């Protein structure tokens, strides 16, 4: 491959990783790009799991052998089986630049230097491959993993020039992984409440829209618990905002623990003293049971005055739920009633007969749109 072709291959690999929308997509783009660039038939990307002392395969692409999967659940190899990468994993190269890639063949030591790894040679033979090039990946100055590209038996083996090019490709892959990690961290922060570590209102809005669409499409049960933490202002005024923040954090932990009773539930802080649980799938009774546990545990926190909880579920007789806004209004109205009555247990929309007061309150024409929820709460709160 000429210099221009190699440059084009590097650019294509970088662009492929940049266009990926997830870590998995970036891993696959890296392996596919390297496989094409090096004229391989198979490629894999692996990460070093330091705490477990193993290399774990993230993705396999190309001509897969028996037992290989594109995204394996648990394909890993103890590091001690690969003596040729021990120096790399212990970062003894760190003071002298980046580690270089190397080539191994199914012929073993007789076909090259004596440092060939018997495990890799055996794997090449077992899978019908003739050679491979292994390029260490360094991220943030530390050993991260490796890029592995192989060719089938019977075709020309990789040479020194291929190994040098693989070293360059590994550096490009490292840059792509770093960029993906930064983007995923930015996405995580955009959907996470910084104080409690729970999801934030933006995350709830996105998930609730998807959930209601599932309900409309296939009848999935969607339930929402809205919680208002009682006594936060008093705590802030008398004990200080640091104690108030601690109350919010501790209640966030309670909500998360109780949410774990509902598989796949999303625990979130909407803002201020308002929290919610969003569940898709569990029955309304299961959600009410979890909300009841939230109320019980909130009282046991020792600071604050417990919590007011309102529950709304598409499984209860609340009328058609065609939008996320209506479900939110139902849960909010139930929570408002729980707060007004100082209820020790959740108030559930739709469980007081045909003229349920919570449903009536939620559907009042004067109620503000969901996007103006705080103004609505301000008008109705005592």
Running DSSP on this structure, what letter comes out for residue 281? S
pLDDT at residue 63, as a whole number: 95
Q: Which two tokens stand for residue 35?
A: 């496989």
pLDDT at residue 182, as a whole number: 86
pLDDT at residue 246, as a whole number: 92
The rounded distance, in Å, linking the Cα atoms of 261 and 55 is 34
The rounded distance, in Å, linking the Cα atoms of 76 and 55 is 5
The tens digit of pLDDT for each residue in 332-353 reads 999 999 999 999 999 999 998 8
Q: Is 349 helix (H, G, I), strand (E, B) or coil?
A: coil
Ranges under pLDDT 50 in the chain:
110-115, 367-382
Q: Is 249 helix (H, G, I), strand (E, B) or coil?
A: helix
Nearest Cα residue to 38 out of 115, 144, 132: 132
3-state secondary structure 301-326: CCCCCCEEEEEEECCCCCCCCCCHHH
> How far is CA 212 from each of CA 65, 205, 217, 324, 326, rounded to the nearest angstrom?
43, 11, 8, 6, 10
Q: Is there a contact between 341 and 320 (Cβ–Cβ < 8 Å)?
A: no
The rounded distance, in Å, linking the Cα atoms of 28 and 378 is 50
Q: Is there a contact between 157 and 151 (Cβ–Cβ < 8 Å)?
A: yes
Q: Is 137 helix (H, G, I), strand (E, B) or coil?
A: strand
pLDDT at residue 83, as a whole number: 59
């Amino acid at each position: 491959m000429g210099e221009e072709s190699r440059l084009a291959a590097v650019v294509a690999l970088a662009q492929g990783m940049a266009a990926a929308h997830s870590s998995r997509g970036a891993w696959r783009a890296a392996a596919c790009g390297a496989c094409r660039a090096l004229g391989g038939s198979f490629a894999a990307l692996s990460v070093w799991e330091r705490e477990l002392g193993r290399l774990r395969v993230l993705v396999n692409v190309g001509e897969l052998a028996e037992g290989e999967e594109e995204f394996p659940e648990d394909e890993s190899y103890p590091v001690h089986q690969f003596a040729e990468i021990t120096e790399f994993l212990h970062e003894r190269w760190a003071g002298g630049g980046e580690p270089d890639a190397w080539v191994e063949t199914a012929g073993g030591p007789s076909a090259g230097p004596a440092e060939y790894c018997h495990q890799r040679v055996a794997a090449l033979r077992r899978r019908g491959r003739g050679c491979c090039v292994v390029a260490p990946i360094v991220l943030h100055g530390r050993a991260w993993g490796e890029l592995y590209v192989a060719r089938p038996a019977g075709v020309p083996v990789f040479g020194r020039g291929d190994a040098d090019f693989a070293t360059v490709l590994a550096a490009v892959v490292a840059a792509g992984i770093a960029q993906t990690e930064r983007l995923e961290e930015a996405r995580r922060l955009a959907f996470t409440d910084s104080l409690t570590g729970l999801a934030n209102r933006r995350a709830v809005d996105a998930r609730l829209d998807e959930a209601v669409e599932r309900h409309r499409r296939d009848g999935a049960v969607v339930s929402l618990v809205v919680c208002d933490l009682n006594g936060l202002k008093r705590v802030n005024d008398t004990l200080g905002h640091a104690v108030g923040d601690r109350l919010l954090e501790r209640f966030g932990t309670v909500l998360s623990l109780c949410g774990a009773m509902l598989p796949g539930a999303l625990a979130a802080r909407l803002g201020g003293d308002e929290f919610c649980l969003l569940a898709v799938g569990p029955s309304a009774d299961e959600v009410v049971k979890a909300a009841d546990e939230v109320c019980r545990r909130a009282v046991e926190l020792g600071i604050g005055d417990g919590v007011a909880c309102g529950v709304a579920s598409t499984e209860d007789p609340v009328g058609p739920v065609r939008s996320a806004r209506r479900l939110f209004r139902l849960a909010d109205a139930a929570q408002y009633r729980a707060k007004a009555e100082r209820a020790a247990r959740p108030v559930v929309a739709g469980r007081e007969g045909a003229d349920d007061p919570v449903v009536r309150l939620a559907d009042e024409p004067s109620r503000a749109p969901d996007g103006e929820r705080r103004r609505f709460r301000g008008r109705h709160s005592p």
